[in-house]
Every structure is written in C-alpha cells, then in structure tokens.
Amino acid sequence: MPVGAAVDLVVPGSSANLGPGFDSVGLALGVLDSYRAVVREAPGLVVDLGEESQDVPTDERHLVVATMYRAWDELGVQRPEGLELVCRNTIRMGRGMGSSAAAIVAGVALASALARPEALEAPEGSPIPLDLDFVNDLSGALEGHPDNASASVFGGATVSYVESRDGERSLPRVRTVRLPLHPDIRPVVFLPSTQLPTATARAVLPATVPHAEAALNSARAGLLTFALTQDPSLLLPATTEWLHQEQRRGAYPQAMALIDALRARGHAAVVSGAGPSVLVLTTTPEQVQDPDEAAEAWQRLGPGIPAVGVQAARATLRTSLGERTAAI
C-alpha cells in the first residue's frame, strides 16, 4: 500500500431489531462517526481519539484498527508499516446505537478504500467507490449479526439474512435488501446515561423459544415491513415481539418502563438494538415525550434517517477531519 494513500470516511450509527426483526432489521440514524486513515512512511500506529474521546484502546486492539487489519488479510493486501487513524466519534458507545457495528463497517471500508489506487491518485476530496456487498458481508460476520452493520453500510431501513453456511466460503454470505421507507416516518431516540454491553444483553437470551411464540413473532415481522413501507398507522402492533425484549427486561428495567409507558400512550416504542436506548417510530415526533421525566435522565434525540450509509473520499489533508467529513 503506497505511502501517502489517505481516506476520509463517514459512517452513520443505527438502531436494530425494531421490535420483531431481531438480528435482521436495521435502521440508519443520522448520528455520524468520522475517520481519516493515512499510510505513513514512519513505521508504527498512531490513533488520535480527539477531545471527545471515549474509553477505547489506542493500539492494535482499537476496533477500527483491528478490523482494518482483518479486512486487509481477507483482501490479501499487506498491512502498511505506518498507519495513522484519526477518529471523531459522535455515536455513543454501549447504548444500542450501533457504535461497534459502525466502527467495524468503518474499518472494512477504510481498509478497502486505502487498497484502491484512488486513495493516492484521485484529486483530493473526490469520492472513492466502495464494494458495499463486501463491506456488508465482512462487517456482518465480524459483528456476529448483520442488522446494525447493514444499516450503516446502506443507509435507510434494511432487512438482512444469511444466505448459506455451506462451507464453500470462509464467511457466511449476508444478503441485504433496502426497504422503501414511508416518507412520514421519523425516529425519536431516548438515550440513557448508562451503558449496557451488547455481550451482556445477548448472554441473557434463552437458547430456544416456544414454537407458538416464534409464530406470533414471525407474523409481526411481516407486518413490520408493511408498516414501515406502506402504512405507519400499523407501527404499534407491528413492533410487538416475542424474541428478546421481555427476556432482557432485567438487564434494562428503566428502558422497559419507558417503553411500557410510551406504548400505553399509543407510541411504537421499542428497545434500540440490545439497549438500553429506546427508539420510537412515529409520524408525529412532537407528540413523543418522556411521560415520567423525573424517573431517569433520558436525552431525547430526533436524528433523522440518512438515505445513504458509509461513504469514503480521498482525504483533503489541508482540511481538518470535521470540516472535510461534513462535505462527504
């Protein structure tokens, strides 16, 4: 990989599950992480977390760096001796806003983009095309479930499924379709101050569910795609589910209390991903307020739904990352 190759990248966070679409349905959210990766002549790794940095390692264990190394291995590309990664993160970690999936998507996309000649030769600031299917496949495999990653890759609302585990490929193949979202749907997110690691939330899930409950869930998952695309008035019944929220209630009791209160008022409230954020899908966002503001300090966001996902461009090294990524 040539010294001087440089890529700027922006990737949205996401919500996952949306009720019955456990591990399959994703929704991109307008909360963005930005990265700059530069191949340096000086050997070694430099990770710049910025002033708002969250608590993550700055060596090869950094999730974006570790993913870049993994993606280069997968692509058969040799790692550069010198690498600088600048991170400007606004997706809060451990909240169910898809931070780890966005970091993995960023890592795969940065590695792919740096391996292309455009990363060195294209005019500064020009877009670098990405093989989004490759980014989606590897990101879903590394994350362990494709829902958040697919939304960060493609933007909008996504439904993902694994096509085969037949052993012909080293990775299962993730297939993703984008739903043509009804234009009136708006997300409202209630962000808590506390974190819940996804691994903890997954550890409390049962190994099996009764067949009758799986059948109920599958009906609502089908209804969810109709409500999201055709008829948002069905979002309340379409976001009822049987696979994960009740089973995790003990892991995020405040989130479930807020969801119960919002749903009792007719709002389609669900746990966002593995929690503990709460997502409400609505056509009347101004009517969605915390019914019990005293109970927990929720930060209310109206992030919008980006129509595109991860984007890369030849870095403009004279410009700071924040100024640059605003323009990608």
Q: Per the annotation, where are the binding residues for ATP?
A: 92-102
Q: Which is nearer to ligand ATP, 59 or 168 (CB)?
A: 59
User: For strand 6-17 and strand 21-40, is the pairing parallel, antiparallel, or unpaired?
Assistant: antiparallel
Selected from 103, 113, 119, 280, the binder of ligand ATP by CB under 6 A is 103
Provide, rounded to whole angstroms, the least separation between the CB of residue 172 and ligand HSE. 16
Provide, rounded to whole angstroms, the least separation between the CB of residue 123 and ligand ATP. 29
Nearest to 100 by CA among 144, 63, 48, 62: 63
* Of 3-11, 70-78, 143-151, 225-233: span binding ligand HSE (CB under 6 A): 143-151
The verdict on 253 binding ligand ATP (CB under 6 A) reads no
Provide, rounded to whole angstroms, the least separation between the CB of residue 140 and ligand HSE. 11
Residue 182, token pair as written in the block: 């009804």
H or E element, residue 127: none
The verdict on 240 binding ligand ATP (CB under 6 A) reads no
Q: Residue with structure tokens 């996952």?
A: 16
Q: Which is nearer to ligand ATP, 105 or 223 (CB)?
A: 105
What distance separates the 2 farthest-apart alpha carbons in the chain?
Answer: 61
Interface of this chain with ligand HSE, residues 73 to 112, rule: CB under 6 A: none
The verdict on 273 binding ligand HSE (CB under 6 A) reads yes
Angstrom CA distances, 134 to 103, 170, 293, stand at 16, 13, 44
The verdict on 95 binding ligand ATP (CB under 6 A) reads yes
Number of other residues whose CB lies within 10 A of the CB of residue 277? 27
Tell me the chain's radius of gyration from C-alpha atoms. Answer: 20
Q: Which is nearer to ligand HSE, 17 or 254 (CB)?
A: 17
The verdict on 14 binding ligand HSE (CB under 6 A) reads no
Selected from 93, 216, 234, 328, the binder of ligand ATP by CB under 6 A is 93
The verdict on 64 binding ligand ATP (CB under 6 A) reads yes
Selected from 160, 198, 277, 282, the binder of ligand HSE by CB under 6 A is 198
Strand, coil or helix: what is 191? Answer: strand
* Of 33-41, 176-184, 198-206, 253-261: span binding ligand HSE (CB under 6 A): 198-206
Residues 148-167, mask of contacts with ligand HSE (x by CB under 6 A): x-------------------
The verdict on 243 binding ligand ATP (CB under 6 A) reads no
Number of other residues whose CB lies within 10 A of the CB of residue 243? 21
The verdict on 274 binding ligand HSE (CB under 6 A) reads yes
Cα–Cα distance measured from residue 67 to residue 315, given in angstroms and rounded to the nearest whole number: 20
Selected from 9, 63, 157, 228, the binder of ligand ATP by CB under 6 A is 63
Nearest to 1 by CA among 77, 107, 86, 67: 77
**Judging by beta carbons within 10 Å of its beta carbon (0-12, 13-18, 19+), is residue 212 exposed, middle or buried?**
exposed
The verdict on 33 binding ligand ATP (CB under 6 A) reads yes
Cα angle 191-49-101, degrees, rounded to a multiple of 5: 50
First and final C-alpha spacing in the chain: 23
The verdict on 145 binding ligand HSE (CB under 6 A) reads yes
The verdict on 17 binding ligand HSE (CB under 6 A) reads yes
Cα–Cα distance measured from residue 197 to residue 200, given in angstroms and rounded to the nearest whole number: 5
Residue 200, token pair as written in the block: 């903890």
Q: Is 122 in contact with 114 (CB distance < 8 Å)?
A: no
Strand, coil or helix: what is 306? Answer: coil
* Positions that interact with ligand HSE (CB under 6 A): 16-17, 22-23, 145, 147-148, 198, 201-202, 244, 273-274
* Positions that interact with ligand ATP (CB under 6 A): 33, 56, 62-64, 89, 93-101, 103, 148, 197-198, 273-274
